[in-house]
Amino acid sequence: MPDVTIDEKHYEQHKPQVSVIGFNSKKFDMSLLLKCLIKNKTKIQYIGSTTQTKQIIVSHQDYDFDLRFIGILSFIPQNNTLKQFVEKFGTKNIILTKDIFPHGSFNYDNYQQVLGQTTRFVKEDFYDKLNYKNIIDEDYEQYSNDSINFYNKWEYLKHYNIRDVTYMINLINHLIQITWEEKVDMLGRISLSQIASQIKYKYCYDKFDINASYNIVNGFEQFEVTQFWWNNKVKGYVAQDGYAKRDTANNVMEDDIDWIRDKVASQTCHLYHNKFTKENKLTLDRIDNSVDHTKQNCQLACQIYNTAKADKDNDISKLKIQLMKYAICEHLPMTVNNESVYSIQKECMQDGLSNVFQQSINVV
C-alpha cells in the first residue's frame, strides 16, 4: 500500500458524483482500480463488508467531482449471469455474443509489458486458475481470427471492453428508466433492496397531503389560557425581541388576555391545523421575523412545531413536520433522531445490511 498524504480541510463535503458502473467487478477489477487510485490528495470512502462491496467513492482534492464505483449486480436479483441480465432487461430477441479474454494472463506488475506485445495470446494464457479449466479449441480459434485485426494485445483489450460496454449501456439505461418510472433514482441508491423499499414507501405516501390535518392530539383536554401563563409568554417575547434589538414598543401586553383567549377559542395552529390542548401547547409565530411580537405580526402555532421551525423556511418546515405526523398516523417507520432510541436499536443489529450501514455510519 503506497504512502498517501491527505489534507482534510481542502475536501468539499458534497460534490457532484460521476457513477462508474461495472458488471461483477467487486473483487478483481476493484482491486486493480484501488491500487491505481490510492494516491496523494485522494480520499476513498468504502461502504460494504469484507466480502461484499456496496460502493466506493473516490474524491480528489483538485477535482470538483467524485467518482462513485458501483456494480450493476447490486441492482438486480442475485446469482444473475450477464446472459440472464441481457435476456431480462435487454431488447427482445437480442443475442449476447461475448468475446473471450485471458484476464489471468497478467497482473498489476506486468500488465504493460504483456499487453504491449504484438503477438497473440497462446491457448495456455486462457487457463482459468479458479475453475481449473481452459477454453475449447473452437473458442481459441475464434479469438485467433479476431486478433488478426489488432496491432497488439492492448488494441484487442480495448475492442473487448468496448463490446462489453456496448451491451451494458442499453441495459443499464433500461434499468434506470424502470426505477425512474416509480420516481426513484437508481444511481442515488446502493442496492436493489433499497430501491424496493423506496418504491414501497412511495406508495405508502400516495395519500399524503401537505395541507391536510393529521391531528394526533385531539383526545387531550383543551388548552386553558390563564393570566399567569400569558404573563410569562409576554415577558418571554419582550426579552426575545430585546435580545434581537427589535423595537418592543408595540409588543403584545399582559392586558391582551382577552385577545389571545378569543384567538385560541376560534383558531387552530396555522401551520398544521392542530387544536391546542394541554399536551399540545400554543405559542405565537411571527409572520415577519424581522418585526417584533405585535398583534398584527403574530399567528397561533403549536409550540413544539414552532420551536422546530424556528426561522427556517416555512414551506420546508411544514413539509418535514407534516410528513412526520402522517407517518405517525399511518404507523410508518421514520428516521431515528433520538440517540437513546438509536443505542437500543444498535444492540439488536445482527448481520447483513444492518452491519454494512453501521460500518458506514461509524466511518463517516
pTM of structure: 0.55
Cell 497482473 appears where? 107
Instruction: Give the Cα-Cα-Cα angle 304, 310, 314 (nearest 5 degrees).
Output: 100
Q: Where are the alpha helices (DSSP H) in the chain?
A: 28-37, 82-89, 111-115, 137-147, 153-180, 192-204, 227-243, 257-266, 303-309, 314-329, 339-347, 353-363
151: left (phi over 0), alpha (psi -120 to 50) or beta: alpha
CA dist., res. 175 & res. 181, Å (int): 10
pLDDT in tens, the chain (364 residues): 445 454 555 556 678 888 888 766 655 566 666 677 777 778 888 777 666 677 888 888 888 899 888 877 778 777 777 677 777 777 666 666 667 889 888 887 888 899 999 999 999 999 988 788 899 999 999 999 999 999 999 999 998 888 877 777 888 888 889 889 988 888 888 888 888 888 888 888 888 998 887 766 555 678 889 999 999 999 999 999 999 899 999 999 999 999 999 999 888 888 777 788 887 788 998 988 889 999 999 999 888 777 767 667 778 878 887 888 888 888 887 777 667 777 777 776 665 544 444 444 443 3
Q: Is the dihedral of CA 216, 219, 220, 224 positive or negative?
A: positive
CATH code of the region 227-328: 3.30.40.220
Integer-rounded Cα radius of gyration of the chain: 31
